[in-house]
Amino acid sequence: MTLWCNKKLRQLCVALCLCLGFTSGAHSSPVIADLSAYHVDIDSSFRGTRLFLFGARNDPGRLYIVLRGPNQTYTVRKKERMLGIWLVGQQVTFENVPQLYTVIGAKNNFDPAIQPYLAALNIGFDHIPMLTKNTVDEKTRLEFSQALADIKRKQKLYAEQSESLRTLGQTLFKANLDFPDSISRGAYTADVYLLDEQGVVGMQSLPIDVKQKGLEAFISNAAQQFPMLYGLCAVGVALLLGWGANTLLRRLNLN
């Protein structure tokens, strides 16, 4: 499988080089990128997967790739010990936080001169947008947002990677986009940025659709589209299973 992927990537890179050669006389975009696939299918045997991003840059600059999505709401609760008992203390709710966030860049790529652009584009852990639903002071917001980011790192949903970005000469590049088995379905994006001290040289956004398939997809869609019917069916199945188990136990006891 690995050999096939490497062979496929080499073929894609060669094709890209040919395309660039044919279009060298025309105006080229500062950065061009593509994906090995634009969708990820989740089923009962899903254990995570990896997509390949490859492309070329036609202008100098620092390259960043950010994989993120979909936005969700999270509530972080702080445990407090009182009279020997652990109780739920203060809690902070964050809105529109990406469930998955991976930033990929070459080593020593975070130049202080482009920090304002990184902040504006939400590139890097320090710039992940974490807006609170409830009003809290900045110290508390930072404490709870850091706790949320730490949880995401342990779940392998937040990551900073430099080794995933490989360059081939001064133009071509490729990167690995990892999707752990804990991702949820929804719309994701792989954003490719080319920056320099003057700002954004080039940018391209590639959509990735993560969806369920098989029986899990049917059940999930039924629960969302027909919640009342789904609830009634769930109760009916539970009653039927309970009745069957009770009948079997009674027959075993009689024997």
Q: Which of 49-53, 108-112, 209-213, 217-221 has the lowest mean pLDDT?
A: 217-221
Whether pLDDT at 8 is above 60: no
What's the mean pLDDT in 55-69? Answer: 91
DSSP-derived 3-state class of residue 12: helix
Q: Which amino acid is at 36?
A: S
Pairing of strands 186-196, 85-105: unpaired
**φ, ψ for residue 93 (rounded to 5)?**
-105, 130
- The average pLDDT across 145-159 equals 92
pLDDT in tens, 225-248: 667 776 777 788 888 888 877 787
Ramachandran class of 219: left when φ > 0, alpha when ψ lies in -120 to 50, beta otherwise:
alpha
As a whole number of angstroms, the distance between CA 210 and CA 177 comes to 13
Of 127, 99, 109, give the one whose Cα is nearest residue 64.
109
pLDDT of residue 90: 85
How many CB atoms sit inside 10 A of residue 157's CB? Answer: 19
Q: Is the pLDDT of residue 162 over 80?
A: no
Exposed e or buried b per residue across 26-35, where buried means at least 16 C-beta atoms within 10 angstroms of its C-beta: eebbbbbbbb
When pLDDT is cut at 50, 70 and 90, the band that residue 21 belongs to is very low
- What angle, rounded to 10 degrees, do the helices at 227-254 and 215-225 form? 120
User: What ranges make up the beta strands (E) of the chain?
Assistant: 31-35, 39-42, 49-57, 62-82, 85-105, 131-132, 158-161, 165-168, 172-179, 186-196, 199-212
CA dihedral 144, 150, 151, 156 (to 10 degrees): 150
Q: How many residues does the chain have?
A: 255
Kindly state the average pLDDT of the residues 58-85. 87
Q: Is the distance from CB of 27 to CB of 76 less than 8 angstroms?
A: no
For position 219, what pLDDT does the model report? Answer: 63
Strand order in 165-168's β-sheet?
31-35, 49-57, 172-179, 165-168
Q: Is 191 left (phi over 0), alpha (psi -120 to 50) or beta?
A: beta
Structure tokens at 42: 């989740």
Name which residue leads in pLDDT, 242 or 157: 157
This prediction's pTM: 0.73
Q: How far apart are the first and last CA of the chain?
A: 56
